[in-house]
Amino acid sequence: MQATSCSTNSDFDIRFIITTVNNVPYPFTPDECTTICAVFDYLSELIDAPSGQKAVVEISKYPLMASKVAGLGTTYLPNECGLGHSAMHRVLISGLYFSEERHGVIRINLNLPFYTGDAGSIPNNQLDLYTVVLHEALMYWALLPVLA
């Protein structure tokens, strides 16, 4: 059975969503859940002055991505665009918008083979899930201003 969230004390409330395509469910494996949770535990360690509120992140597998797209991520921009204006940034630093249902979303391409083992031993025919999730979190959620 798939985990529904990470059981850590990080600054993120990670929610795993099971995608269903043509009545076929695509859950995350236990190793995939562990890898994704490790990314957000790592990011929590880097946040200089957290607000104490948890940012809600929904993560799911997605079937309709181009073959060269490993993942997509977005945050919500409640008032204006730019660094420091995302819902993710505001909930983590100021505690604002903490009542929102979710603050960010990541979709992982379910058609690609992902690796969840130790770094340094990634097979040539697989993508490192940790790196993909970390990339989406940093690039699309504008977390860089909150890192120590």
- Phi and psi (nearest 5°) for 134? -60, -45
Per-residue confidence band for 144, with pLDDT thresholds at 50, 70 and 90: very low
Q: Decide: 91 and 52 in contact? Cβ < 8 Å.
A: no
> Looking at per-residue confidence, does 92 or 71 come out higher?
71
Q: Is the pLDDT of residue 27 over 90?
A: yes
Structure tokens at 31: 């190793």
CA neighbor of 75 nearest in space, from 55, 60, 96? 55
pLDDT of residue 33: 93
Helix (H) or strand (E) holding 15: strand 12-17
Helices 129-140 & 30-46 angle (0-180, nearest 10): 40
Confidence of residue 5 (pLDDT cuts 50, 70, 90): confident
C-alpha R_g of the chain = 15
Of the given ranges (2-6, 19-23, 133-137), which has the lowest mean pLDDT?
2-6
Contacts of 102 (CB under 8 A, 6+ apart): 15, 56, 57, 58, 76
